[in-house]
Amino acid sequence: MKHFRITLQYDGSRYDGWQKQGNTENTIQGRIEALLAKLFEQQIEIQGSGRTDAGVHALGQVASFSVQTDIGPAKVMERMNTFLPKDIIVTDCRLTDARFHARLNAKRKTYIYRVVTGNVRPVFGRQYVLWHSDTLDTDKMRKAAECLVGEHDFKSFLGNRHYKKSTIRTIENITITEEIIKAGEAEFPEIKLAFTGNGFLPNMVRILTGTLLEIGEGVRNPEDMESILTGCDRALAGSTAPAHGLTLLKVEY
């Protein structure tokens, strides 16, 4: 038995999220497991570092699986990339030991949410950014984000009301940066929100982003964030930002 760790990139636009589900075969995990079953002629279960939502992308998703085989990681990667859909690719494959688990051993994850502002809607790359026609006050957004850093109960930013596990997480860092993206003669102001933490609740990054966007719009004040956080009530937080602007950047072990 060999134990593999793979790193994946995928465009989540046409998938129903990472986690396989009984009501659809159109998930990242489901597609990969179906391919592995054909390649190795045995049932294989893969463990992802996290369950990205439908429409969310990944540049550095990590997964692990075990299989009875004689071939090595380079050949496994080659075979997988030959038959995977064009919007999923394995960028790294290596041997690991039986104790490694992509989700349980993860120390921290970083997600990026991209927002393009201004009255001109981007055409190229539009499936990876949220277009926001109004300008945003990023200084207010940064001020609001400060109180989110550290260990807190993030129940107000939980998207699954049936969630039964602990809602305490640690956010190590939130950065909000601005740059100008050029596409031909056009220029697009882009804001990137980067969240690094030891783990994230279902929809947590998207709800954090939606709340920060409302603060940037002036709908809420930066000072509101503390009461939203301590209130532990989803109704207090802002809207859930659309999935297509979010990308899992990397997972660290």
**Start-to-end CA span in the chain (Å):** 23
Contact by Cβ (8 Å): 207, 139: no
Please say if the pLDDT value at position 92 is more than 90: yes
- 233 is known as an active-site residue: no
For the domain made up of 108-252, the CATH class stated in words is alpha beta
Cβ-based neighbours of 28, under 8 Å, separated by 6 or more: 8, 10, 12, 15, 17, 18, 48, 52, 61, 88
Decide whether 2-96 matches 108-252 in CATH topology: yes
- Alpha carbon 145 to its chain's center: 18
Please say if the pLDDT value at position 183 is more than 90: no
Q: Give CA angle at 65 (35, 248), nearest 5°.
A: 85
Q: Which helix (H) or strand (E) covers residue 4, if one does?
A: strand 2-10
Read off the amino acid at residue 184.
G
Q: What is the band of 115 on the pLDDT scale with cuts at 50, 70, 90?
A: very high
How far apart (Å, rounded) are the C-alpha atoms in residues 101 and 44?
14
CB neighbour burial string for 113-137, b if at least 16 within 10 angstroms, e if fewer: bbbbbbeeebeeeeebbbbbeeebe
At 59-81, the pLDDT tens digits run 999 999 999 999 999 999 999 99
How far apart (Å, rounded) are the C-alpha atoms in residues 181 and 178?
10
Q: Of 16, 53, 70, 87, which is the active-site residue?
A: 53
Please say if the pLDDT value at position 137 is more than 90: yes
For the domain made up of 2-96, the CATH class stated in words is alpha beta
Mean pLDDT of the chain, nearest integer: 96
What residue spans define the domains of the chain? 2-96, 108-252
